[in-house]
Amino acid sequence: MRGPHNLWRLIRTGATFERTGAMKVALEAMEAPPRLRALARVLGWPFKWLGYAGDPALPPITRAITALGPAYIKFGQVLSTRPDVVGVELSNQLRVLQDKLPPFPRATAVRVIESELGRPLNDILSELSEPVAAASIAQVHRARTAATGEEVAVKVLRPGIERAFRRDIDAFHFAAGLIELLSPASRRLRPSDVIAHFESVVAGELDLRLECSSASEFADKTAKDKGFQVPKPYWQFSSRRVMTLGWAEGIPLGDVEAIRAAGHDCVALAERVMQLFLSHALRDGFFHADMHQGNLKVAPNGDLIAFDFGIMGQIDEYTRRVYAEILIGFIRKDYRRVAEVHFEAGYVPADRNIDDFARALRAVGEPIFGMEASQISMARLLSYLFEVTERFGMQTRTELILLQRTMVVVEGVARSLDAHINIWQVARPVVESYIRENVGPQALLRDILRTARVLGRFGPKLPGLVETMLSERTSPPPAPARLGLPAALGLVSLGVAATLAIVGIAALF
């Protein structure tokens, strides 16, 4: 499926942008050089007639993206949170991609619900509204359960969505391979791995049973977070193509005027969005990876409500520590330490000069400290970061893609609420708290205790292992693949050390 026939899909993509007028708008918004603008127009014009027409009632960019399909819509959703990159006007146009796309008929949703849950609709729900929100993959209906009368939100996948995503992702794989073939320098960015990662994320989003599970786990992990809510999942009314959650009443986070009119503090909400994300990523290693305005509401009591858990991020404990040390290094302007962490984690090849890298990081960090967010050009900052990573041979870390992407989205959401937010000041208390608990002496003792517990499990086996190995010493020739006496004594030492460590550390607590 990833053969040259996908070239047709890519040609139609460019043709659609040209036909809808989106090409010119996109190039201007991204401040593309004049030569690139001219080249794109010249190459796109002959194929203009091949493009999709889209909905003429929509603005050019939104019109092109919605015509091209769900994978493109996902990309547009990310851009909608970055007015500093694409401009305020274009960002506002793209907001409709979050939850205001054309819905499919209610009757179709009823057929899917009855087929998936194996019962007539009236046995499940006493009420089912027309669609209240429609996004790239699914739409949501407000409903009431037949048995208890509880208000719920019923999410139903779009018909044929799986096939549409497969088609787009095949084209993306082809494009990534073409880029790597024509530009060997791009291979360090691992475009094929990035698309493969995107594919795995989307595959999980297309099975609503997994989303229901994510909602349940996320609710458990965040139960003690003040000012944050996760709707309750209803497993008995959920399946692969249907998911039911408790109804979340509130103002969409994208409606800033309504939030202000209701008396909520937008500055405090902006800080809470940023700090909650960092807390979930660092503390839990499990975070909402699609935190755009369309997936967040403000409850009447001021709480933030999160929903749509199709894309969740997960990072291991070691990576969390690396990420936290990089953040705190930037916050404290300790660029040497930031550089060291990159080298220690293997993010930068060992043959590069650490001092040169530290100076390059200073050139990234210094201009943004002490400046309001409204004064920082994120487009120029990202451009310089790209230059730095290219110069020092850094490869794209696929395990960090969701984390990096969500950080960009969350910053954009926070800025929409408070254009003057200083993300470093807001992040500092969360990151410092994590560092104190997970990178200092307390964390070291905890790691030793965990190691000792693992080694201690071998304690009962040590006498038998030693006896076996000693007997093998008297039976020549010794088996070369087996451990000898030194190794046996080493195991004994490890067992004793483990026991002493457990006892000693337990006494400290």
pLDDT for res 258: 95
More confident residue, 2 or 244: 244
pLDDT for res 157: 93
Residue 3 has pLDDT above 90, yes or no: no
More confident residue, 155 or 348: 155
Contacts of 457 (CB under 8 A, 6+ apart): none
Same-domain status, 52 and 156: no
pLDDT for res 506: 34
DSSP letter (8 states) at residue 158: P
Helix (H, G, I), strand (E, B) or coil at 282: helix
Q: How many angstroms from the chain centroid is the CA of residue 243?
A: 21
Token pair recorded at residue 142: 């407000």
The residue among 421, 356, 426, 442 whose CA lies nearest residue 392 is 356
Question: Which range scores top for mean pLDDT: 254-258, 311-315, 456-460?
Answer: 254-258
Same-domain status, 289 and 370: yes
Q: Angle of helix 354-365 relative to helix 335-344, nearest 10 degrees?
A: 130
pLDDT classification of 495: cutoffs 50, 70, 90: very low
pLDDT for res 114: 95
Q: Quick one: average pLDDT of 41-60?
A: 77
Same-domain status, 32 and 131: no
pLDDT for res 32: 61
Tell me if 1 is assigned to some domain. Answer: no
Question: Angle 127-133-135 (CA atoms, 0-180°, nearest 5)?
Answer: 135
Same-domain status, 425 and 282: yes
What does pTM read for this prediction? Answer: 0.70
More confident residue, 375 or 58: 58
**CA–CA dist 24, 59 (Å, integer):** 12
Same-domain status, 419 and 290: yes
Q: Quick one: average pLDDT of 74-79?
A: 69
Same-domain status, 25 and 125: no
Q: Quick one: average pLDDT of 458-468?
A: 70
Q: What is the pLDDT of residues 384-435, one digit of tens each?
A: 666 677 678 776 665 666 777 788 788 888 988 998 888 878 888 988 888 8
- Out of 99, 126, 153, a domain closes at 99
Out of 99, 290, 308, 418, the active site residue is 290
H helices, E strands: number in the chain: 24, 10
Token pair recorded at residue 494: 């490890």
pLDDT for res 186: 58
- Out of 99, 125, 156, a domain closes at 99
Bond into 477 cis (ω within 30)? yes
Same-domain status, 74 and 160: no
Same-domain status, 260 and 240: no
- Out of 406, 439, 472, a domain closes at 439
Residue 502 has pLDDT above 50, yes or no: no
Same-domain status, 43 and 156: no
Q: Rounded mean pLDDT of the chain? A: 78
Q: Does 355 participate in catalysis according to the annotation?
A: no
pLDDT for res 206: 86
DSSP for 358-421? HHHHHHHHGGGTT--GGG--HHHHHHHHHHHHHHTTPPP-GGGHHHHHHHHHHHHHHHHH-TT-
Cα distances (Å, whole numbers) of residue 489 to 177, 301, 463, 492, 496: 53, 64, 10, 5, 11
Tell me if 370 is assigned to some domain. Answer: yes
Question: Which range scores top for mean pLDDT: 51-55, 244-248, 361-365?
Answer: 244-248
pLDDT for res 327: 80
Q: Quick one: average pLDDT of 455-474?
A: 68
**CA–CA dist 509, 503 (Å, integer):** 10
pLDDT for res 498: 35
Same-domain status, 85 and 116: no
Tell me if 336 is assigned to some domain. Answer: yes
DSSP letter (8 states) at residue 295: G
> For residue 491, what are the domain limits?
442-508
What's the domain count of the chain?
Answer: 4
Residue the block writes with tokens 């700090």: 275
Token pair recorded at residue 292: 């755009």
Buried b / exposed e over 199-237, threshold 16 CB at 10 Å, is bebbeebbbbebbbbbbebbbebbeebeebbbbebbeeb
Same-domain status, 222 and 285: no
DSSP for 168-235? HHHHHHHHHHHHHHH-GGGGGG-HHHHHHHHHHHHHHHT-HHHHHHHHHHHHHHTTT-TTEE-PPB-G
Q: What is the pLDDT of residues 188-241, one digit of tens each?
A: 556 777 677 677 777 777 889 999 999 999 999 999 999 999 999 999 999 999
Q: What is the pLDDT of residues 120-171, one digit of tens each?
A: 999 999 999 999 988 778 899 999 999 999 999 999 999 888 888 887 788 7
**CA–CA dist 49, 7 (Å, integer):** 16
Same-domain status, 410 and 262: yes
Residue 271 has pLDDT above 50, yes or no: yes
Residue 91 has pLDDT above 50, yes or no: yes
Tell me if 23 is assigned to some domain. Answer: yes
Token pair recorded at residue 443: 């964390």
